[in-house]
Amino acid sequence: MEQRNWDRKAVSLDAVVGCPRFGLIRGRIADLTHGGLYIRAETSIVPIGAEVTVTFQPNEGVCNRCLSIRGRVAHQSLHGFGISFDQLDRHCQETLDRLLPQMPLVPIRAAPAVRAMR
The burial of 18, by beta-carbon neighbours within 10 Å (0-12 exposed, 13-18 middle, 19 or more buried), is given as: middle
CATH 3.40.50.150, domain 9-102, yes or no? no
pTM of the predicted protein model = 0.82
Residue 57 class from Cβ within 10 Å (0-12 exposed, 13-18 middle, 19+ buried)?
middle
Mean per-residue pLDDT pooled into runs of 10, the chain (118 residues): 68 93 92 94 85 90 85 92 92 90 75 44
- The three state secondary structure string of 44-56 is CCCCCCCEEEEEE
Domain regions of the chain by residue span: 9-102
